[in-house]
Amino acid sequence: MNVGCAQVDITPRRALTLCGFAARRNLPFAEIHDPLRLHALIVAEKEERVLILSFDLLALGPEVTERLHEVLDAVDGLDVPRAKRVFCCTHTHSAPAAVKLMGCGVIEADYIAQLSEAVASVAAQASAQCVLAQARVAKIELSGHSYNRRRVLDDGRVVMTEQPSTPVRKAGPVLPRMLLLRFETEDGLPVAGLVHWAAHPCTVCGNCVTGDFPGELCRQLSAKHGYPYMFLQGSCGNINPPLGDMSVEQMLGNVSSIMEELEQPAWSPPVNPAPFRLAGRSIALPYAAGLPLSELIAMGEGMKQIAETGHGPQRELQELSNILNVEVGREPDPLMLRYIAGVLRNWTAEQIGVAEGNQARTCPLDVKVLRIGHVVLCFVAAEVFAETALAIQETFPELCVALVGYASPIVGYLPTDEAMDEGGYEVAYAFKFYGHPAAFARGAEALTVATLKELVEVTQL
């Protein structure tokens, strides 16, 4: 195998809005806690050449993804076609917007231009630094460092609170396994590292720029071992790290605890890179039925009233309370109530504009599978649940399978059918912030799992 890596800075050069928390109300960030990075890794074997870019960003939308492909098309000597490129994000909630997420950051042209420059530079550097290398793998069990944030309560509600006051009927699985990959020369000199784990990087809720725990973990691993590490986010659509007071200090404490578990990774013998192949496909995810035009109009009027006065119809008030994760018997924050009502008023206005016969029936989802011997990386351009990763891993127990979420262009949450029956933010509300006309239909996640299984089989040939 030939392997090359590089990293460049993508910290914003001016105060921009950040993407991830509506609580920031689209105010420009107040400070920079730590820099944001863009990592590039080129892996090649015989005629196959793959480029992986990992951004310290929440996600990349379709327009930004296309723009970055155009940039790479023009990089001399890169020799990696679009079908062999993978863009993914760490999903930090404290970086500028590169995807439409209504009320959660504004995409700025000058920042996309900055990203474009960074992509061209980092890809060229990684290509120029390719050397003959081999890979080793280490697996670490991180028990107690994450939790499934979808709590199904006895009263039927689904909340994100780690320890709600109402008894919990069901808490889903987590993915405690961390996967480390180390690329090294045949003499054992390290070239680059990958770290894959599943947990939502939403620890820092303040209005500051930070890569959250993925950025800090990679910095500490790089400093400890003397070579760069790239983070690949796992199936964390329903998994959080310990949030505590949602501060920088909490995030740093979480990373310190993880680093203690990584003192002595048990590295495998060199991985036989055969078979080496990247295969991909676009899936047409079906939408569920959207709201009728009359209900969209009524919802828009109700949200407009609440946004302007703080008062309005009970149905819309209840929806806002659910989105804001308000405990029964408590009142939502009035400022956030009105802000989110304004966001949803804008969503209804968009949907009313296309409600009469022009709504899309499907949404394209890109998936790719990279096979390096028995190591399989499954890239999905969605916020994927832990259950999806487990379904793939359990099908191929003889392989080292890691599902990487937040590839590009992102489509939003991809809940399981069971989660759709239960409800909750990821099912009932998140699609509106992503600008979709409706949630995905039942069977969408199962279709994705089936496609990934087919691609894993294809890469064995």
Are residues 48 and 78 located together in one domain of the fold?
yes
Q: Of 391, 414, 437, which marks where a domain is finished?
A: 414
With beta carbons less than 8 A apart as the criterion, state whether 59 and 89 touch. Answer: yes
pLDDT score of 156: 92
Structural domain includes residue 360 = no
pLDDT score of 427: 97
Helix (H), strand (E), coil (C) string for 63-81: HHHHHHHHHHHCCCCCCCC
pLDDT score of 357: 60
Structural domain includes residue 237 = yes
Parallel, antiparallel or unpaired: strands 158-159 and 151-153: antiparallel
State pLDDT tens for residues 264-289. 999 999 999 999 999 999 999 999 99
Structural domain includes residue 451 = no
Are residues 309 and 383 located together in one domain of the fold?
no
Are residues 84 and 188 located together in one domain of the fold?
yes
The verdict on whether omega for the bond into residue 409 sits within 30 degrees of 0, i.e. cis, is yes
State pLDDT tens for residues 228-265. 999 999 999 999 999 999 999 999 999 999 999 999 99
How high does pLDDT run on average in the chain?
Answer: 97
Structural domain includes residue 85 = yes
With beta carbons less than 8 A apart as the criterion, state whether 257 and 216 touch. Answer: no
The separation between CA 390 and the C-alpha centre of its own chain, rounded to angstroms, equals 17
Q: Which two tokens stand for residue 384?
A: 């994927």
* C-alpha–C-alpha distance, residues 238 and 236, integer Å: 5
Torsions phi, psi for 308 (to 5 deg): -85, -30
Structural domain includes residue 206 = yes
State pLDDT tens for residues 89-122. 999 999 999 999 999 999 999 999 999 999 999 9
Structural domain includes residue 285 = no
Are residues 69 and 105 located together in one domain of the fold?
yes
The percent helix, strand, coil of the chain (3-state, each to 5) is: 35, 25, 40
Structural domain includes residue 112 = yes
pLDDT band at 22 (very low <50, low <70, confident <90, very high): very high
How many domains does the chain contain in total?
2
Read off the pTM.
0.97
With beta carbons less than 8 A apart as the criterion, state whether 234 and 177 touch. Answer: no
pLDDT band at 210 (very low <50, low <70, confident <90, very high): very high
Q: Of 202, 155, 149, 156, which Cα lies nearest the Cα of 171?
A: 149
Query: Mean pLDDT across the stretch 292-301?
Result: 95
pLDDT score of 168: 95
Are residues 130 and 18 located together in one domain of the fold?
yes
Other beta carbons less than 10 A from residue 223's beta carbon: 9
Q: Of 237, 172, 197, which Cα lies nearest the Cα of 381?
A: 237
Burial class (CB within 10 angstroms; exposed 0-12, middle 13-18, buried 19+) of 130: middle
Q: Of 87, 37, 92, which Cα lies nearest the Cα of 60?
A: 87
pLDDT score of 165: 86
State pLDDT tens for residues 367-411. 999 999 999 999 999 999 999 999 999 999 999 999 999 999 999
Are residues 324 and 391 located together in one domain of the fold?
no
pLDDT score of 329: 84
Report the amino acid identity of residue 274: A
pLDDT score of 445: 99
What is the domain extent for residue 317?
293-352
Are residues 331 and 250 located together in one domain of the fold?
no
Share of the chain above pLDDT 70, in %: 99
Query: Mean pLDDT across the stretch 55-81?
Result: 98
Are residues 215 and 159 located together in one domain of the fold?
yes
Are residues 299 and 345 located together in one domain of the fold?
yes
pLDDT score of 220: 98
Are residues 262 and 297 located together in one domain of the fold?
no
Structural domain includes residue 460 = no
Q: Is the pLDDT of residue 355 over 80?
A: no
With beta carbons less than 8 A apart as the criterion, state whether 87 and 420 touch. Answer: no
pLDDT score of 432: 98
Are residues 144 and 209 located together in one domain of the fold?
yes
With beta carbons less than 8 A apart as the criterion, state whether 236 and 208 touch. Answer: no
State pLDDT tens for residues 143-156. 999 999 999 999 99
With beta carbons less than 8 A apart as the criterion, state whether 136 and 268 touch. Answer: yes
pLDDT band at 327 (very low <50, low <70, confident <90, very high): confident
Q: Of 15, 1, 7, 23, which Cα lies nearest the Cα of 333?
A: 23
Beta strands in 131-176 (DSSP E): 131-132, 134-141, 147-148, 151-153, 158-159, 168-171
**Residues whose CB falls within 8 Å of the CB of residue 429, separated by 6 or more in sequence, listed in order:** 319, 322, 323
Are residues 192 and 331 located together in one domain of the fold?
no
* C-alpha–C-alpha distance, residues 201 and 204, integer Å: 8
pLDDT score of 356: 61
